[in-house]
Each structure stands twice: as C-alpha cells, then as structure tokens.
Structure 1
C-alpha cells in the first residue's frame, strides 16, 4: 500500500470540483459483471488523522463501496496473526459524534474500537463486504516464515481464522469480533523480492505463496461451511514486472483468489531525484525513466501473465507524491529535485484533502496531461503529482471500458469531507 505509518509501498526496483453522483455499486461494466469499488480504511485513520469510520458515511463513500479492507493485521516472527494495536482495533471507546450509529460506546461492552464501527457500518450497508488485510509495507517481515512449510502454513492460517474470523480477540470475550470480517486480504510486499529493509526473503517464496493461498482456501471453505457463509480471499499484487515474475505463479494465484487488487500508484516518488508521475494511466511523452510504468502497462502485464480481466481491481491513490528544489522549467515535470517536498505525515507524501488546499491557496498552478492521464501542482520550485476527481473519473472509465473488475482505493482517509474523489471515481465506473 502506501504513504502511512507503515511506510511507502514503492514499486520494487523502483482541484478540481467534485463530480455528480452517477450510478450505484451494483451497476455492471461492459462485460456484464459487478464493478467493484474496494477501499482501504487504516487502523490509524481515526487516532492519527482524525478520520473515524463515520467520516466515510458522512462524505458519501460508504454507500458507493462494494468492499472495505481494514489495514492492517500483523504476523509475529513465527507467522502467527496478531493485532498490532488492540486499543485501536477493539478497545477504544468511540464517542457518539464519531460513531456510525450515533451512539457512544460504553465501558464493558464486548467489542469497541474500529472493529465495532465496521460492524455498525455493515449493519447500515448490508451488501458491503469487509476484509481484514494482513501485512503492508513494514508488516510483511515474516510472511516468508509463515509460508515456509505445510506445518507453518496451516498454523498461520489457523491463527488468522481464529483471531479475525472467529473473533477471538485477546482480552475480549470469546467470539467478540465474530462476524465483522467476510474474508482475508493478503498484502505481502513482496514474495521472493525485498520490500522493506529487514524482511525475511527466500527464493522459494514464489511457490510457497501459491501453497499458502491453497491453505487459506481450504481453511476458509471449512470455516465457511461451519458458519454457513462464503469467506473471500484476495491479495495485493505488484506493478513491478520483475517482482511479478520472481514472486508469483500469477495464473494459479489468480485462480485461487476471489479477486486481486493491483498496484496502480507509486510508479515514481521522492526516493528518485526526477519529479515524475506516480499513477498515470499512460506513459507521458518525454518520460526519461527506464523501465516505463503506467496503469496501462501494469494491467497489460497482469493480463499477459494469465490474469482474468474481471479479477483485476486496479489501485487508485487518494494521495500525492512530491518533490522540491526544482528548476522552474517544463512546469516541474521531469526536472531534478533536491529532495522530497515537505509533507504532513511523511516527506514527499500527502493526502488529496490536504493537497487540494495548495491549489485553493492560489500559490500553486494545476497542470494536466489528458493524453497520459495525470495531473500535478507546481509553484516554481515544488511539484506534487496526484489524482483529482477528473483523473479518477478518467480511471473509472478506463476500468469500465477495458472490462476490468473494478477499482481499489488507497486510502479512504485521503478524500475530502465532501467526498469529491469517490464521486469522481464513481462517475467513471458507472455508465450514465
């Protein structure tokens, strides 16, 4: 994933006005299947950013989602599933003003925190499916250990089913969290390829990832029979082609998954000196980098490796990447920076709802490449590349026209109180 307390999920090796609401999540794309709108809500959104689950109700997002991924659950060194922040997950008492149902949590209730808010969200929107997402950029350190042997795989999956699906949360009544989650999303960044420094990486991760999915599928089916419901299995897959080939038996991976979310951002960022696009649909003219990256290139790479079109759920960013110290040439694009732009949460990164303020301040000028499909802000020295409602509508149309499975959002706390981004994306995904 990206830009968070967990660090940036960079590809390995490497305002607009709100738009009118059009269509509903149930409407079909050209191929006749449901268009997914998958949004990540993070464990730290409320405490660190002041964005409770209720925010996505009030700004119109929740009613447009088909799926919500709660990020993240962690793995311990032996590969067991754990909560990294029980206080945020299920202990913190949420006041009435931040609660989905408008009622304050009470001391002694079986389930509180974000998980109780997600339960309330599902009651309000019964068609919404909610998954626990495991891993993330710095949370992927021990996936290789979990996947290493038949015994470790079985133990890992059992621990995750027990914690997140059966809802046996440490320090809470047995089964307190049962029913919150409808599936598990694996965010291993990346099998057989180094992601965050210090991750355990093995060459056999490629085959072990497939075996891990099989173990998940078997245990999820077994638990589903006991619970008389279907549990889904999804995974976040990379944009980088070397990482795809080194770490995944992609054709079989897609067969085992309910669907996949595919990295559609972090193509470039302030870990490079050249100010560039981080999420363009197509490669801009004059891009000096090799290899080239764009949404179209990434989608085609997955298709070429056997991905079913309707299982590709293309990621879109609710954040921007920024550089500073640029010469005032070419509106900053492809110029050499002295470093990352100052950001609210990390250098070189900021949420759309914050970046929009740079434009409305009058200190930055908005630039757009309609051919490549990307937008950026520039003030003569600082450059921010981001997706605004216009670009998200463009991506929604691209997903619909290519009959892909839908869009995935990282992350929901980046939108404005008016829900400008979700309205833009929805207008493109659903036919007028």
Structure 2
C-alpha cells in the first residue's frame, strides 16, 4: 500500500474512532436536502422480528444506542404472503410470529418509554414499541417489508393477474396500514406503519428452493408496483398522508434482467435499496469478499460482483441515481480450513466458518472483538473492503472505516443513501450506524 493510501486510511480510522462522541445532525447544523433526513440522504435499517430472541435486540436498543436518531426509516422484517396471494399473519411454524409482532407483553426494561405493557391493552409486542419509537423520533418512518428470502414463495401468485394484484395490495393495506390485525379490534395497529417495502427474492429467477416462478414475473412486478402506488395514493388521500413504497433489488445483472423492467419500476417507487452484500459466502469453495466497493485485484472470478458493478448495472438500465440506496452489511461472511498462508484472501477453504447462529455468518458486534485476539485485520483501500484472518479462518466484513469509505462513494455518485441489513448486528453503541451517519452528514 503506498503512502498516499496509507494516509487516507489513517484519516478514515481516526474519524471512526471519534464516532461515539459525535451528536446526530439537527436542523440547525445540517443542510436541508430533497431526499431523506435533514442531510438529504435516506438511512434505512432493517429491524428483524426474530432479533428479540437470541440476539436480545428489542426495539428499545434502537433508541438507547443512538441508532434511531440517525435513521430516516426502519423496515420491519418480514410480512408473509399466502399461497392465495394475500398479506397475512399466521402463528403456524414457519408462517409468522404474531407473538413477537403484536401479542407479547413487553416488560418495562425492554420498553422504549420505560413503561411495561398493561394487561389487556390492545397492542403489544414489536408493533407497539415501534409506535413508541416513532413518538420519540417524530421524523422516523416505519415500513413493513414483505417477503424476504424465506417468504417470497408465493409472491408470483400475488402478482399474476390484475385481480390477484388488486386483492393482494388491498389485503396489505388493510392489515398493516389500517391496522386490522387478527383477533384485535379494527384499527388496533393503525399508524404504526408509514408504507410498504417489497422484498421479492426474485421475480423471474430462483431464490429459495420451492419459490413459484413465472415467465411473466418481470412484467407483473412492474404492474404490482403500479397497483400498490395506486391504492397507497388513494388511501393516503383520505388520510392526508403520503404512504411510501420501496423495494429491495438484487446485485447480479442476470437477476436484474430476468425480473425487473429497469427504468419503469422507478416511476412507482419512492426509492429502492440495492443489495450490496452476499457477493460471496460459505457456499463458495474459496474465501473471498462479500461486500467490496470494487472488484479486488487478483479476484479469481471474472466477471465478479461488487457494489460498483451492482450500482452501475442499475444505472445502465435507466435507474435514477437519487433513487438508489446502497445496502451495507452489519455481519460478515466466513470460511475455515484455509492453509495457503498469506492474508488468506482467495484461499481454498474446507467450508463455512463456525459461528453463533449460522455457519459462515456472524454479526459485526462479535467480529469486532476478534481484532487482536488471534486475528489480523487486513484492508484493501482501493477495492474498499476489510477482512480478518487467523491463519486458518477468514471473515470478510464492514467496519466503521469501510462504511465511511462507502458513504463517500454514495455522496460522490449522487446516490439516495444507505440501507442496513440488519440493525441487530451492530454493537450497543451503534458504531456502524454512527459511521454511516457521520459519512453522510452535510456540513
């Protein structure tokens, strides 16, 4: 690494080291923008329904860590789609968790305002805590995200015909925006959600095994967005609100071409988040980067994936830069059994690295503690990525310095902002969210 790059890296790390003492921007010290928060950028974080369990990440941590003050949107993951093409909540195994969503009485120590849920109150669980979070952070928007990797099985059914699209959209508005939850009084959850995020993985191409795929998914996705926009606007007119519509989009050019009509879809979307991670993982036979800004020199795959490849692919197909929000990971991908020495990158591996919840997948808050504890931190500033290696096991991940570099890329390229998967991977001080906020702060 030459001296110029070393100095630039030093500035990034020095800046990251003071993140915990930096206050979030306010209307008084930030320039008003045309997009997300007071600085003009969207800062979107996914909150996972299941994070309240093993990861011990209740909604309250978004407040106490300082993350909520630095976000414009929280996307709640996920809402399910039934085989007959409806938004629904079902307590059956693998079909949903209404207990976490709105039934679980939240104790005072986990409550955003410190007040425990009272016996018999209408709304409990994460939904009530999100309402409390919004009351405390008035500019924060909360969207329900539909689908995800596991629950995109029947999206194609919902989008297949004009009648199915109308019924699907109506059911989602009734359930989440009107707040008509099963087993509760009408309107119990009204006001919790400010819009809908579509996370269909993927129209026209394979996602999780068993997903329904149709040749006309590509056109039907556009028509589905149009129906959402129509019904959201009609409902919003009655409520005097603008209900937002967003979508999660893939990084792979082949997946883009199979399922998305480039420029057309952005007519209906407030913005879209673009997958900026999972470029490589334990499914690969060698250790590699999962979220680099650019394809690293010496990468074994050609063509390969990177943030730059993904963003350029969307812009080449007519997507407006200002509506593209870059996804960043709050977790790492890991491999073990690497015996080639050096820094481990691109070395053959025997399989995914052991981890807390899933082999080959570990939260940032765990990985950051490996630095200096048997692992050496490596960086490629030109490619924009970092990794840890102990001689056998390698973890590729984003730390505050990498996120500062990505925020500079977002600014330089005129993108709409950053999206986080997922907020429960951060530490208790929201170090990663603070890094993004600082990098996107307009002085």
Q: Which TM class, normalised by the smaller chain length?
A: over 0.9
1:382 aligned residue? 393
> How big is the shift at 1:296?
1.1
2:139 aligned residue? 127
248, 258, 262: which is aligned to 2:260?
Answer: 248
Cα distance change of structure 1 residues 415 and 275 upon mapping to structure 2, 3 Å threshold: same
Q: Distance in 2 between matches of 1:29 and 1:402?
A: 19
1:1-400 matches, cutoff 5 A: 17=17, 19=19, 20-21=21-22, 24=25, 27=30, 34-83=40-89, 84-360=96-372, 362-400=373-411
Higher relative contact order (CA 8 A, sep 6+): 1
Q: Distance in 2 between matches of 1:115 and 1:402?
A: 36
Cα distance change of structure 1 residues 92 and 266 upon mapping to structure 2, 3 Å threshold: same
> How big is the shift at 1:21?
2.8
Q: Distance in 1 between matches of 2:58 and 2:299?
A: 39
> How big is the shift at 1:341?
0.1
Instruction: Tell me, yes or no, if the aligned pair for 1:264 and 1:315 is still in contact at 8 Å.
Output: yes
Instruction: Tell me, yes or no, if the aligned pair for 2:35 and 2:42 is still in contact at 8 Å.
Output: no
> How big is the shift at 1:49?
1.3
Secondary structure class of the residue paired with 2:418 = strand
2:6 aligned residue? none
Cα distance change of structure 1 residues 292 and 28 upon mapping to structure 2, 3 Å threshold: farther
Q: Distance in 2 between matches of 1:137 and 1:299?
A: 21
1:409 aligned residue? 420
Residue 424 (structure 1) aligned with residue 435 (structure 2):
yes
TM-score (norm: length of structure 2): 0.91
Gaps of 5+ in 1: 1-14
RMSD over aligned Cα atoms = 1.6
Deviations 1:277-321 (A, max 9, x none): 000001111001132111111111111111111100000000000
Q: Distance in 1 between matches of 2:73 and 2:435?
A: 18
Cα distance change of structure 1 residues 357 and 89 upon mapping to structure 2, 3 Å threshold: same
Deviations 1:22-77 (A, max 9, x none): 66277459988711100000111112310001111111100000111000000010
Name segments (4+ residues, structure 1) moved above 3 Å: 15-18, 25-33
> How big is the shift at 1:375?
0.5
Instruction: Tell me, yes or no, if the aligned pair for 2:35 and 2:416 is still in contact at 8 Å.
Output: no
> How big is the shift at 1:328?
4.2
Secondary structure class of the residue paired with 1:332 = coil
Deviations 1:349-393 (A, max 9, x none): 010001112225x21111111111100000000000000000011
Secondary structure class of the residue paired with 1:367 = strand
TM-score (norm: length of structure 1): 0.94
Instruction: Tell me, yes or no, if the aligned pair for 1:29 and 1:35 is still in contact at 8 Å.
Output: no
Secondary structure class of the residue paired with 1:133 = strand
> How big is the shift at 1:228?
1.4
| Greater mean alpha carbon deviation, residues 36-45 or residues 16-25 | 16-25
| Greater mean alpha carbon deviation, residues 291-300 or residues 206-215 | 291-300
Instruction: Tell me, yes or no, if the aligned pair for 1:184 and 1:232 is still in contact at 8 Å.
Output: yes
Instruction: Tell me, yes or no, if the aligned pair for 1:30 and 1:403 is still in contact at 8 Å.
Output: no
